[in-house]
Amino acid sequence: MAERRRKFEPEFREGAVRIVTETGTSIAEVAKDLGIYETTPANWVSRARQTGAALAGGGDEAERLRRENAQLKRDDNRSVLPVPWSADRPAASVFPLGLKATQVA
C-alpha cells in the first residue's frame, strides 16, 4: 500500500526556506536535519525564489546587489573596445605605414 503524503504547515516550509537562504546551509543538510526528502525543501526554495519570497527578509541587501550588478554591467559595457576598422574607417587608417591587412580564406 502506498505511503500517505505528509502535509507541512506554512510556517515549517518558510522556516526551512529561511534556513537555506539566510544561513547558506545546503538543501541536502536542511532536509536531513528535518527528516524529509531532499526534493521537498528544494521545491520550497525554488518556489520562494520564483515569487521573491526568499528575499523578503533581506530586501535591502537584494536591492543593493541589484544596483551593484547594474553598475558593473554599465562599467563592463564601457570597457569594450571598438572595432578598429569598419566601412566608415578603412583599413588604411589602421595600417598607416602602407602595410596591408592579409585576407584569410
Q: Which residue has the higher pLDDT, 1 or 25?
A: 25
Does residue 93 or residue 62 have the better pLDDT?
62
The C-alpha cell of 49 is what? 525564489
Put simply, whether the predicted model's pTM sits higher than 0.85 gets the answer no
Q: Tens digits of per-residue pLDDT, 47-58?
A: 988 887 655 555
Q: Which long-range contacts (CB under 8 A, 24 or more apart) does 75-79 make?
A: none
Phi and psi of 4, rounded to 5°?
-75, 140
Pure H helices in the chain: 10-23, 27-34, 39-51, 59-78
Which value, in Å, is the radius of gyration of the alpha carbons in the chain? 27
Given a contact cutoff of 8 angstroms between Cβ atoms, the answer to whether 34 and 41 are in contact is yes
What is residue 33's predicted lDDT score, i.e. its pLDDT? 93
Higher-confidence position of 33 and 85:
33
